Structure 1
Amino acid sequence: MPDAIFAHPRLAPVYDAFDGDRDDLMAYLDIADELRAGRVLDVGCGTGCLAVLLADSGRTVVGVDPAGASLEVAKSKDRTGRITWVHGDATTVPAIGAELAMMTGNVAQVFLTDDGWRRTLQGIHTALRPGGYLVFEIRRPERRAWEEWAVNAAQITRDVPGIGSVERRLEVTDVSLPLVSFRYTYRFLADGAVVTSDSTLRFRSRDEVETSLVANGYRVLDVREAPDRPGREFVFIAERAT
């Protein structure tokens, strides 16, 4: 079940307004160029920011997400129908011969159980062609990002076209490592409606991630710093080995 921030019909349309310009996605376009990937699977595509950028660069793109409300926002950006949108998760994508699969933002950390993470890696493995690549980022647990979230929890207000002013507040609700839970509270000033969204992320170590990749048929090619957040995240580049 996707979090309300992605699935609620009032929250998905305001997500981009609070998520910023997503300059971080340009690094993924560079990696797609580096790997010469023409057919790309965007896992957890959300409101479609990366998928649209990939399609704009001339690639064939499939975006998959379990949150229907986010997919509706994504589809509204794809006016010419260039992108194939799949309502589901990585396990629902067939063998499409993708040359590259990507998970950006917090996508790789929403899988809280070992089984859920394993099934996701296996689903992506099926969707990739032999020798295809998997690229994703995770937050480094030792940086303890949740402590910064707690400190920087001031209310933010955005004016969203067609919706009006919306306030958002973040609260860290539980830290039981490797799991960290937090809550976003949104208030829509036009009618006073308040909607909350609770989320939990799993902070896996680099060794844990590498071990899981190898166990599920991948070869780890590189582990890089996220160029926009040096020292805070790892970017994994793996290859389907079997």
Structure 2
Amino acid sequence: MTGQAEYNDPRLVALYDLQNRWSADDGFFLALANGQPGSRILDLGCGTGRLTVALALARHRVTGIDPARASLDVAQAKPGAEAVRWIHGTAEDAPEGAFDLALMTSHVAQIFVEDAAWAEVLGHLHRALVSGGRLAFDSRDPAARGWEVWDSGDEHEHLTLPDGQELDTWTKVEGVADGRVTFTGYTHFPASGETVVDRSTLRFRTEAELRRSLVVAGFEVERIYGGWHAERVGEGCGELVVVARKPR
């Protein structure tokens, strides 16, 4: 797993929430969950808890798991967070046979760069679901080549955090090879002169690769959409939105 600073540095966690507000992806996963009222839901890689808390407020029984302590601290301070069971850990810490639905949102699936790590997390999710339980997650479609617009070039974004700190951010794409995209995020704090450098690698798996990995892990693939409005793959917004099921 790479790119840890944005999840572990409290200043960057605040920036994450500023840049990532509720959007169509959250609406998709919330609607999916609401199709089965009162579900027991695992939100793996819950981060700062934007969707996690919304699921709990919709009267689901929710467990949020994340390895980043700073992100969990922010999540647990949000209104409604007391209704969530928060776990500082990884998929390995998910209880067995405890969930009707497991979610990995905000492209958490792409953090597992190596196939062995991806297979391991799928195995843990399969174990954590009840018979007939579902798994849903998003992963960017490599065919859309979304990384081509990530590089900021000479343009920096100037932002102000809720505590009044000002900063500038920019991104450089370092390399694209074998389904892996490596990029570096820069965050400069003018007041202190400090620049935080966060280098990350994400895995872009094709639809076929995702299907194969899910079948090997014991899942049945129900649907793969190309966007947040149930578009066909290649006709949406460059996403692969996966819904799979643990067979009964």
- What TM-score range do you get, normalising by the shorter chain? over 0.9
Residue 232 of structure 1 corresponds to 238
Which AA in structure 2 matches 1:103? M
Contact 2:75 2:81 in 1 (8 A): no
Which AA in structure 1 matches 2:87? V
1:47 is paired with a residue whose SS is coil
- 2:105 is the counterpart of 1:99: no
CA shift digits 1:9-61 (9 cap, x unpaired): 33222211122443420111111122446111001111111101101111111
Which AA in structure 1 matches 2:155? A
Runs of 4+ in 1 over 6 A off after TM superposition: none
TM-score w.r.t. the length of structure 2 is 0.91
CA shift digits 1:184-218 (9 cap, x unpaired): 11112332321111111001110111111111111
Instruction: Report the number of matched residues.
Output: 242
Which AA in structure 2 matches 1:233? E
1:11 is paired with a residue whose SS is helix
Q: 1:22 to 1:179 in 2, by over 3 A?
A: same
Residue 85 of structure 1 corresponds to 86
Q: C-alpha distance in 2, partners of 1:92/1:197?
A: 27
TM-score w.r.t. the length of structure 1 is 0.93
Which AA in structure 1 matches 2:113? L
Q: 1:10 to 1:211 in 2, by over 3 A?
A: same
Q: 1:227 to 1:191 in 2, by over 3 A?
A: same
Alignment map for 1:79-228 (pairs within 5 Å): 81-95=82-96, 97-150=98-151, 154-227=155-228
2:138 is paired with a residue whose SS is strand
Q: C-alpha distance in 2, partners of 1:203/1:37?
A: 33
1:150 is paired with a residue whose SS is coil
CA shift digits 1:107-160 (9 cap, x unpaired): 011101111001100111111111110000111111111112126773112211
Alignment map for 1:24-35 (pairs within 5 Å): 24-35=25-36
Q: CA deviation at 1:178?
A: 0.8
Q: 1:153 to 1:116 in 2, by over 3 A?
A: farther
2:223 is paired with a residue whose SS is strand
CA RMSD of aligned residues (A): 2.0
CA shift digits 1:149-181 (9 cap, x unpaired): 126773112211114222111111111121101
Q: C-alpha distance in 2, partners of 1:151/1:188?
A: 18
Q: Which runs of 5+ in 1 are unaligned?
A: none
Q: C-alpha distance in 1, partners of 2:161/2:31?
A: 30
Contact 1:179 1:203 in 2 (8 A): yes
Alignment map for 1:40-51 (pairs within 5 Å): 40-51=41-52
Q: 1:215 to 1:97 in 2, by over 3 A?
A: same
Residue 241 of structure 1 corresponds to 247
Contact 2:228 2:241 in 1 (8 A): no
Contact 2:48 2:74 in 1 (8 A): yes
Q: C-alpha distance in 1, partners of 2:29/2:62?
A: 14
1:196 is paired with a residue whose SS is strand
Q: C-alpha distance in 2, partners of 1:37/1:227?
A: 23
Residue 59 of structure 1 corresponds to 60
Q: 1:115 to 1:79 in 2, by over 3 A?
A: same
